[in-house]
A and B are shown apart, each in its own frame.
Chain A
Amino acid sequence: MKILIFLFTVFALSYGNQYVFLVNKYDKEIELEAKIISKIAMASLNESAKIFIPNISKQEQKVYSKYLNLAQDCESANFVYNKNGSIETSCQNINKLFFTNNYRRLISNERYYGAFFWNKSRPNIVFIKKRLKKNSIVLSDEYAPYIEELDGL
């Protein structure tokens, strides 16, 4: 019996790392994204952030709510993070900041002042200088490497 317990222990220790498959591998990415969005929203607003993410999935909601104060609708939010493409027409209030997860959307739509997105599996952040100014957003020096002057490119 002792030998069996010993063999079982060796076996369990050898294959212990296989239990990693029980953890959703995308949770880590969502977690990182939630932390970054939370930080950006707080740095961009002069008040506490209430964030609306249209069409948010349950898995995202679970992770995001750990780091952000999530708004149920666009009207009650002061920061909109558009991850999934469309924003309802009622969500046009000017007293909000719009952020996206798509670089092309950022370039093509002036509503967005910045984007956080995964490029080549790496996290990337871009703010557009003119739009920061337009929204009266003053970011600390920490964000300087991420600010782009689109006209100069």
Chain B
Amino acid sequence: MVYKGILQKPYHLLIIAFIIVSFLLSMILRYEKVIEKDIFKIATNDLLHIARNYSLYIKDVLKDSNSYVNDIKADKKLRENLEKNIKNLITDNIKYIYLLYKDKNDVFRFLVDGSPEEEKSMLNQKFDVVNDKWFELYTAKQPILIKHTLLQRLSITYLVPVVYKGNVELVLVVDFSIETIREINDIITMIKSGLIFLLVFILVSLALFFIQYIKYNSMKKSSFTDKLTNLYNRNYLHDIQDKIKLNEYVIAVLDIDHFKTINDTYGHGIGDTVLKEFGDILLHTIRIDEDIAIRYGGEEFIVFIKRKSIDSEIPFQVIDRMFSNIKNHKMYINSEKYINVTVSIGVNKSPEKSKNFLEAFKVADSALYDAKNSGRDKIEID
């Protein structure tokens, strides 16, 4: 066939669509996490910074202390002072902020709680924690962020250690409400929806393009096919004649012998049947992926027979096969009676010597003329 390329076979389009969709989906999934991380960082960075500064403030307040825990426990005024300051950090995003210590039994207990009165924990009140990160804080000695998946009203908890002489003495705990995360999730959902919409738009566009392409191909095929013989028609010849590489083909022009007599004797219906069967024989004889059979007009046909090299014998074997298959085929004009049709063939064995297809065709047509004039039912090679 003359048309070669990525769009020749429809499944190539499906592969391209699949690659595009997979790529976009992976980008959405990948960037969703990146965007979430960035927005979260922007939304919480200041608050985390304030929490770290507050832990430094606590250290500063307790700079003369030898035991942070005991001094806070013993000094009510100090506790009230810390609580007053800690309360100022409560915002719409920070739900709770409090100061804990861990006793000798590894139980966390309250020292200072910035929560409103009705939610405030008592001094030394036990606080149950389930996440191991709370304990990791004592070895890491660095702030730790805990993301909650099971708690209904908290999104994250930020633990800031207050270190004294290399040991974590206190833990400043900041619980973030779900509002921050909810807002971040809303933004991400919006971005994700936009990307999904874009993806759907691309998919729909590809689907429409694919449908149009199939329709176009179907129409093109229809406009290039002779309905009676299923061979290519003259439109197709016009389409390819300037593009075809003449050095790759041998050109054969075929004419059904005495076709007018068949039409006159048996009628146009039988004439059409002969043409149809003739087309079937050609299609079954040529190499369908390499050779091109065209109904040139009436009972005249052109066959481009592919050759691998200029001296290849294969095209002539194909021509011989066409000639004998037509000759040996019984064309039934009714259930009992049949006729044998013969064909005259003119061959241009060296089309590459011609400047263009029309000249090459003339050589083959001239050979056909010679075959007709020398008694028909012949192959004439020029």
Contact = CB atoms under 8 A, between A and B. Distances in A.
Interface string A104-145: 100100000000000111111110000000000000000001
A145 B126 CA distance: 10
B98 A25 contact: no
A120 B127 contact: yes
A3 B151 contact: no
Nearest to B106: A145
Contact of B200 (A10, A103, A126): A10
A22 interface: no
A3 B204 contact: yes
A146 B127 CA distance: 10
Instruction: Name B's interface SS.
Output: mixed
A32 to B, nearest CB: 9
Contacts of B175: 120-121
B129 A122 contact: yes
Contacts of A28: 152
Sorting the interface of chain B by its residue count into under 10, 10 to 19, 20 to 34 or 35 or more gives 20 to 34
Contact of B122 (A10, A26, A103, A123): A103
A73 interface: no
How many chain A residues sit at the interface, stated as a range, is: 20 to 34
Q: Pick the most buried of B128, B129, B173, B196: most chain A CB atoms within 10 A of its CB.
A: B128
A6 B203 CA distance: 10
Contacts of A124: 126-128
B154 interface: yes
Interface in B121-140: 121-122, 124-130
6 contacts: A6-B203, A7-B204, A28-B152, A120-B173, A122-B151, A124-B128
Interface of A: 3, 6-7, 10, 14, 25-26, 28-29, 103-104, 107, 119-126, 145-146, 148, 153
